[in-house]
Amino acid sequence: MSWPEGHQSADEVRSANNSVEPSSFPDDAGADYFIREYRTAVNPARRDLLENKPPLLILATSAESPESHTHRVLEALRWALGPEHKRVPHTVLYAEGDVPLLTVQAGAGLGFDIPRRSTPDRFPHFWLMADVVAQIQERRPGGGGLGARKLRDHVYRQRAERGGLPGLLWHMGGTDTAPIGGVRGFFVGLVWHSLTRTLPRWIWARRQNRRLVRSKRSGWLGKHLNATAGGAPVFELLDQVGARQSPRLSLEPSHPRHKEGLAALELLLLRALLEDLRKPAVGRLLPKRRRRVARPVLLVEIPPEGAPGADAAERFLRAFHTLQAGLDGPGPLVIAVGHPSGSLQADLGVERTNLRRASSLLHSSNPRPVVVPLEDEPFERPGLQIPPVQPRKFTMGWRAVTAVELAALTTVLVGGALAPAFWETPPDTRCVGGDRPAAAGSQTERVEVRPTKWYQDALARIDRQNGEAEKYAKDRAVRTVVLFESAPPTSADDTIFDGSIPELRGVGMWQQRLIEDAASDSSRVPLRVEVRQAGAGFHGAVRAVRDLIQQVEQEDSGEEYERIVGVLGFAQSTKETQEAVKELGRIGMPVVGTTATADEMQQSDSYWPFTPANSTEAGIEAAFAAHSPLVAKQGQTDPHAPVECVPAGHAVIVRTPDDLYSESLADKFQQAFKGGETVISFRQDSQPFVSQAGTQKATTADQLVGQVCQALKAEPDTAVFWTARAKDFTAFIRAMDTNGTCIENDLTVLGGNELTNVALTGQFADKDWLRLYHSAHRLPEEDHRASAKTKEFVRQYNGQYPQDPWRQDGHSAVSYDAFHVLSRAVDNAGSTVRRESVLTALRNNITFDGATGFISFSEFSSGPPKRKTLVILRQSDGEPTAVVACGAYSQKAAKEKHQGAPCVD
C-alpha cells in the first residue's frame, strides 16, 4: 500500500470548500491579538522570522462543549489560510478510525493543492517512510520477516509508480509478462532490465543509504534509530523496525503494546515529514530557494478522551512534542483544538495561559507546549472573522526561471533521446483495472436482500422525520417537497434491478441533516418529504404528476407546511418521466433530478438534472474503450502469466427499442466510438418492434448470445457496450454462461450506471469469464482521489446501513446531494419561500462540496452541474475499482482545465 503524490488528506477538501460562509473565531478575551499574531506568524513581514520555532499550541474547549465548537475554531483558522485554494501550505487533521497515524493525513494534505508557484515540497522522506510503514502494518507475526531486499524492491516499485525518472525508467523496462526467448529475450532480461530497473534501483538504494544513514549532516534516520555511520544499510534497519513492531501491531488495538507499536511508527513517519519541511535557505541564487514565504500549518482536532480518534490525535501530538526540541529547522506551526486529556497535558508539560499571552508566544522559539482554555460563552455570540493571509505571489514559477539556464542542456538531451528508435516504449498491455475477473475470490453467493422491510424502513424514517420538521412550523417557515419513486419492490429480483432503496436512504439522510442544522441555524428551512409512487419502471409518472398539479392548484387549503415548493426524483429516463418533467415545467415547478441521464429529459427550464448527460457519458466511455487496454488478448496459453489486454477495436452495442435511456446512450456512443460496431436491438417482451436499418434484432437471451459470439469470433478485440436494462443484462449473462460457447477468452462488457445495482449484489460473483466495467456517479470510499466529503458520507451511510449491498453504489449519494441542492434553493428563497423564488435561487449558481464531489450549477442554463463527477468502475473481487475519474470529484479537480483522455473537457 502506498499514497501517491497529490493525495488529499482525510478532511482537506471538507474544510477547503466551506469558503462561502466562513466560520468566525470566538470573541474571547484577547481574540483580537491572537488573530493578528496568528496571521503574521504564518506570513511574517520579514522572512527571517520564519526561522523562529513556534510552540505547540492547544486551544482547549470545555468538557461540556459540543463538537461544533471545535469545528468552528478549526474552520476559522483554516479559512484564513485560503478560502478558495491554499495560500499557505496547510491541512486539517481529523482523527479517524481508518487512519490511526495522523502523519499520513498530514503528509498527504500538505502535498495537495500547494500554493501556486511556491516551493514545491515533494516530501521524498515522507513518501519513502509511508511506503515502509504501510508494509510494516501489513505484515503478520510468525510469517518471518519480509527481508531487506524485498522491502527495498517493494518501496522502489512504489516510488516508480509515483512517476519521475524512476517511473519513466521502470515503464521503459516493459511489462512483467512471460519470458521472451532467443537473442531478444536474452537482451531484454539481462541488458535492458538491468539498465532500466536493476541498475537504477541499486543506485537509488545506495543514495538512500548515504542520505538517510551515512551522511553526518543529514543522516537523520541513522540518528533516529541510533545506528552508526558504518552500521547496517538503510533497508536492513527498516526491516528490523518492521520485525520489532509487527508483533505488537497484531495485538488488539486497545492493548498497550499495540499502542506502543503505533507510537513508534508515528515517530518515524513524523520525523521524515519534519525533515521534508525544513525551511530552505533564504535568498541566494537558485530561484527555488526564494519560494518559501509562509510557514506550513497543521491544524489538529482533539476528540474527547475515549472518543473515536482521541488516541490517534494525542499520539500525533506526543510525537510532535518529542521531535520538536531536537528539530534542526523551525518546523510547521501546529495548533490543536478540542478536548486534551489530563494525561496528554501531563506528558507534554503544558503551560496554561490566555489568548493574549499565547499570541506573543507564536513569534518566539519556545518549544514548550501552551494550552489556552476557551470559554463557552463567546461561542453563543457572533465571533470575529480571521481575514485571509496575503503571502507574496510570484509571476513566474521557479522552473521557468531555471529553464533559461538549462535550455542548452535540455536541447542536447532531448535531441539525443529522440534520435534512436531504440528508446521507443512498447504499448502497454496491462489490463486496465487489473487482470482479475468479475468473480470475487471469497464471494460466490448472492448478497441477501430484504426488499420489503428495507423499503418500508426507509419510508418510516422519512415519515418520522416529517413529524420532527413539522414541529418547527410554530415559529418559522416549513415546506414540503415531493419525491417521485417507482413502485416498491416486491421480490429480491425486483430489488436488484431498482435503485429506489438506496435513493430513499440518501434522501432520508439529508433530511435528517437538514433538521439537525435547523436546530441551531434559523436560516435553514426544514422540509417535509412526500414519497409518491409513479408505478413500476415509472410507467405511471404522468398520471402521478397530474395528480400533483391538481393538488398544487388547490393548495390554499390545508396547513402552510404542506405547501409544495419543489419536486425531487425521476431516477430513470423514460418517455413517461420525460413527459412528466414537461408537465411540471408548464406550472413552473422546481424539479431536481437524480439519476435520469438522457439529454432528452431536458424538457423544461425548471428542471435541473443532477447527473452527467448521456452525451457526456458516451463520449467518455467511447474514448475509454478505444484507447484503454480492456479486452483480453486471445492466444495466451500460460494460465499463470498475467493476462494481457488491448483496446476495443470493435463494439457490439446492445440497445432496447422504445427505451429513452437506452436509445439515447446507444446513439451517442455509436457517434463517438471510432472503431467498428455492430448494433443489436434486444427486447424480451412479446411486443413487436422494428429494428433500425443496419441493426440486428434479438428477442431472446439465447439469440443475443449467438449474435455476440459471432461478433467475437469475427473480431476478437470486441467489447460489448450495454445500454439495455439490468434485468435484460442478467438474462444475457446467464444464457452466456449456460451456452459456454465463447467465454474461454473472457467477455468484456462496458455499461452505464444501470448495471451498478445488480453488479454489487453478487449476481456475477461466480462468472470468472466476465470483465465488467460500468459508470457511476461517485468515487469509491477507498479511492485516494475521493474527496473528504465523499468519504464522510460513505462512512455515515455504512454506519447506518452496514448490511447494504449497495455501499459502493452512487444512487444514495446522488439523492443526498440532489436533495441538498433543492433544500439550499429553498433556504435562499426568502421569507415567503414560494416556488418562484426557489426557481430564482436555483438559477443563482448553487455551489457546495457534496457526497458525489464538487457541485456547481451554471448561472445560464438548467443543465447538470458543471463538470459533474463521472467515474468508470471495474467490478473485481467483489469491490469496484475506479479506472477512470472525470469531472469535479473534488474541488481541486473542479479547477483543472484539462483532465486528459478519456475525460471530456
Range with lowest mean pLDDT among 266-280, 616-630, 890-904: 266-280
- The pLDDT value given to residue 394: 67
Nine-digit cell string for 33: 491579538
The residue among 250 and 16 whose pLDDT is bigger is 250
pLDDT at 121: 62
User: What confidence score (pLDDT) does residue 16 get?
Assistant: 42
Per-residue pLDDT at 646 exceeds 70: yes
Among 904, 901, 905, CA closest to 618: 904
Is pLDDT above 50 for 6?
no
Using DSSP, state whether 430 is helix, strand or coil.
Answer: strand
> What's the pLDDT score for residue 2?
39
**Could you tell me the three cell numbers for 304?**
474527547
Q: Give the pLDDT of residue 130.
A: 85
Whether residue 167 is predicted with pLDDT greater than 80 in this model: the reply is no
Question: Which of 611, 669, 29, 57 lies closest to 317 in space, CA to CA?
Answer: 57
Chain-centroid distance of CA 569 in Å reads 24
Residue 802 in this model has a pLDDT that exceeds 90: no
Rg of the chain over Cα atoms, rounded to whole angstroms, equals 29
For residue 769, what pLDDT is reported? 86
Residue 273 has pLDDT above 60, yes or no: yes
| Helix 102-110 with 124-138: angle, nearest 10 deg | 150
- What was the pLDDT predicted at 18? 43
Our measurement of the distance from residue 484's CA atom to the centroid of its chain's CA atoms, rounded to an integer in Å, reads 29
Report the distance separating Cα 757 and Cα 873, nearest Å.
13
Q: Which helix (H) or strand (E) holds 453?
A: helix 451-470
pLDDT one-digit tens code per residue, 84-134: 778 888 899 987 766 789 998 888 888 777 776 666 467 788 888 888 888
Concatenate the DSSP letters of all residues of 471-515 into one string: GGGGTS--EEEEEEEPPPP-SHHHHHT--HHHHHHHHHHHHHHHH
Phi (first) and psi of residue 221, to 5 degrees: -70, -40
Position 580 pLDDT exceeds 50: yes
| Model pLDDT for residues 614-623, shown as the tens digit of each residue | 999 999 999 9
Cis peptide before 382 (omega within 30 of 0): no
Q: pLDDT tens digit string along 455-475?
A: 999 999 999 999 999 999 988
Contact, 42 vs 294, CB < 8 A?
A: yes
Out of 687-701, 736-750, 778-792, pick the least confident. Answer: 687-701
- As to burial, measured by CB atoms within 10 angstroms (0-12 exposed, 13-18 middle, 19+ buried), residue 243 is middle
pLDDT at 1: 39
Smallest CA-to-CA distance from 531 within 901, 815, 206, 846 is with 815
Alpha carbon distance 767, 745 (integer Å): 13
The owner of cell 531504440 is 422
- Tell me the mean pLDDT in the region 892-904: 87
Question: Going by C-beta distance under 8 Å and a sequence separation of 6 or more, which residues neighbour residue 772?
Answer: 438, 749, 751, 755, 759, 764, 874, 875
Tell which residue, 567, 573, 507, has the closest CA to residue 537: 573
The segment with the largest mean pLDDT, out of 323-332, 369-378, 405-414, 428-437, is: 369-378
Instruction: Identify whether the C-beta of residue 250 lies closer than 8 Å to the C-beta of residue 140.
Output: yes
Phi, psi of 263 (to 5 degrees): -65, -40
pLDDT score recorded for residue 168: 74
For 176, the 3-state DSSP assignment is coil
pLDDT cut 90: percent of the chain above it: 39
How far apart CA 561 and CA 759 sit, in angstroms, is: 40
pLDDT at 145: 57
Give the pLDDT band (50/70/90) at residue 442.
very low
Decide: helix, strand or coil at residue 352. Answer: strand
Which pLDDT value is given to residue 279?
A: 60
Rounded to the nearest integer, the mean pLDDT of the chain is 83
| pLDDT given for residue 885 in this prediction | 94
> Residue 423 — very low, low, confident or very high, per pLDDT cuts 50/70/90?
very low
> Can you read off the three cell numbers belonging to residue 530?
412526500
d(CA 4, CA 163): 9
From the number of C-beta atoms within 10 Å of its C-beta (0-12, 13-18, 19+), residue 362 rates as: buried
Q: Identify the pLDDT of residue 17.
A: 41
Whole-number percent of the chain with pLDDT over 70: 83
Q: Following DSSP, what letter does each residue of 109-144 receive, concatenated?
A: HHTSSPPTTS-----HHHHHHHHHHHHHHH--TTS-
Task: Read off the pLDDT band of 210 (50, 70, 90).
Answer: confident
Q: What is the mean pLDDT of residues 127-146?
A: 74
Q: For residue 316, what pLDDT band results from cuts at 50, 70 and 90?
A: very high
Query: What is the separation of C-alpha 710 from the centre of its chain, rounded to a whole number of angstroms?
Result: 40
β-partners of residue 775 are: 872
Handedness of CA 236, 238, 242, 244 (dihedral sign): positive
Asked if residues 790 and 649 have their Cβ atoms less than 8 Å apart, the reply is no
Q: Quick one: which H or E segment has residue 159?
A: helix 148-161
End-to-end CA distance of the chain: 31
Band (234; pLDDT cuts 50, 70, 90): confident
Model confidence at 231, pLDDT cuts 50, 70, 90, reads low
Question: What is the model's pLDDT at position 7?
Answer: 40
Provide the pLDDT for residue 668. 93
Which tops the pLDDT comparison, 277 or 516? 516
The model's pTM is 0.56
pLDDT tier at 496, thresholds 50, 70, 90: low
Name the grid cell of 537: 419502471
Q: For residues 511 and 505, is the Cβ–Cβ distance under 8 A?
A: no
Total residues found in the chain within this entry: 905
pLDDT tens digit string along 505-552? 999 999 999 999 999 998 899 999 999 999 888 999 999 999 999 999
Q: Nearest to residue 132, comparing CAs of 2, 41, 250, 20?
A: 2
pLDDT tier for residue 427 given thresholds of 50, 70 and 90? confident
State how far Cα 876 lies from the chain centre.
19
CA–CA separation, 403 and 781 (whole Å) = 40
Which of 58-72, 764-778, 883-897 shows the lowest per-residue confidence on average (mean pLDDT)? 764-778
DSSP three-state, residue 195: helix
Where is pLDDT greater, at 208 or 229?
Answer: 208
Tell me the backbone φ, ψ of residue 40, rounded to 5 degrees.
Answer: -75, -25
> Does 889 or 52 have the greater pLDDT score?
889
Of residues 493 and 662, which shows the higher confidence score? 662
Q: How sure is the predictor about 208, in pLDDT bands with cuts at 50, 70 and 90?
A: confident
Element (H, E) at 651: strand 650-655
User: Taking the CA of residue 749 as centre, how many other CA atoms within 13 Å lie in the half-sphere pointing to its CB?
Assistant: 31
Give the position of cell 502469466. 641
- How many helices (H) and strands (E) the chain has is answered by 31, 23
30-87: per-residue pLDDT in tens?
888 899 889 888 888 767 677 778 889 999 999 889 999 999 999 999 999 887 778 8
In this prediction, residues 858-871 reach a mean pLDDT of: 84
620-659 residues labelled b (16+ CB within 10 A) or e (exposed) = bbbbbbbebbbbbbeeeeeeeebbbbbbbbbbbbbbbbeb
Per-residue model confidence (pLDDT) at position 12: 45
Q: Which residues of 412-422 are buried (b: 16+ CB within 10 A; e: fewer)?
A: eeeeeeeeeee
d(CA 273, CA 319): 12
Q: How far is CA 608 from CA 295, 596, 659, 904, in A?
A: 43, 11, 21, 21
Grid cell 520485525 in the structure block, residue: 243
Q: How many CA atoms lie within 13 A of 296 on its CB side?
A: 29
d(CA 135, CA 151): 8
- CA 236 from centroid of its chain's CA atoms: 35
Return d(Cα 789, Cα 767) in angstroms, integer.
Answer: 34
Distance CA 597, CA 574 (A): 10
The three-state secondary structure class of 609 is coil
Q: Is the peptide bond before 902 cis (omega within 30 degrees of 0)?
A: yes
Check if the beta carbon of residue 749 is closer than 8 Å to that of residue 770: yes
